[in-house]
């Protein structure tokens, strides 16, 4: 975090490294290289008071009060914690699905293999390829195979 400085006389905050104007005088960013001269202008470093708590359970905010940056930690409500937990679960599930995603081609191949396995296991008595959805899989895979052959 870039250091912040406070000028008590004007109750103004300045970010170290930025050009600034104080009492009508403009100072270039290079002025910050000489911290002794910064102190002679009456600028004091802003100090952090408090430590942020675990953001899974707390909402952490900051408030500038004079030369202090105060951390305020407010507990999250049960509703927010539940919503966060569900969001984490949705993210984990999406990552799991993405890592293990089957392609359309994998699905077509699986359906066709299962159909052929049923046909063989039942000596042709059960032919899943007669089901319209399975027949469509065979049709689409045939079209895809024809396109792959052109590559």
Region 9-25: mean pLDDT is: 95
> What pLDDT is stored for residue 30 in this prediction?
94
134: buried, middle or exposed (CB in 10 Å: 19+, 13-18, 0-12)?
Answer: middle
Task: Choose between 148 and 81: higher pLDDT.
Answer: 81
| pLDDT surpassing 90 at residue 100 | no
What residue spans of 1-151 are helical by DSSP H?
Answer: 35-40, 78-99, 104-121, 132-149
Region 4-19: mean pLDDT is: 96
Task: Choose between 149 and 102: higher pLDDT.
Answer: 149
| pLDDT surpassing 90 at residue 64 | yes
**Residue 48 in tokens:** 């952090």
Domain-wise residue ranges, the chain: 4-74, 104-149
* CA gap 80, 86 in Å, rounded: 10
Region 105-124: mean pLDDT is: 91
| pLDDT surpassing 90 at residue 42 | yes
| pLDDT surpassing 90 at residue 144 | no
For the chain, percent of residues with pLDDT exceeding 70: 98
**Residue 22 in tokens:** 């104080």
pTM of the complete model beyond 0.75: no
- Give, rounded to a whole angstrom, the gap between the first and last alpha carbons of the chain: 54
- Write the CA distances from 28 to 14, 17, 25, 52, integer angstroms: 12, 9, 10, 33
* CA gap 89, 82 in Å, rounded: 11
Region 9-32: mean pLDDT is: 95
Region 142-149: mean pLDDT is: 88
Q: Angle, to 10 degrees, between the axis of helix 132-149 and the axis of helix 104-121?
A: 120
């Amino acid at each position: 975090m870039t250091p912040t400085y406070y000028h008590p006389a004007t109750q103004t905050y300045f970010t170290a490294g930025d050009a600034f104007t104080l009492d009508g005088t403009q100072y270039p960013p290079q002025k910050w290289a000489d911290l002794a001269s910064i102190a002679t202008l009456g600028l004091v470093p802003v100090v952090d008071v408090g430590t942020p708590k675990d953001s899974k359970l707390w909402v952490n905010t900051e408030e500038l009060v004079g030369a202090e940056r105060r951390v305020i930690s407010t507990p999250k409500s049960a509703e927010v914690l539940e919503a966060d937990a569900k969001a984490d679960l949705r993210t984990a599930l999406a990552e799991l699905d993405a890592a293990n995603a089957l392609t359309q081609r994998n699905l077509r191949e699986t359906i066709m293999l299962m159909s052929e396995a049923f046909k063989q296991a039942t000596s042709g008595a059960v032919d899943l390829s007669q089901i319209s959805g399975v027949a469509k899989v065979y049709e689409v895979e045939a079209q895809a195979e024809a396109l792959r052959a052109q590559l």
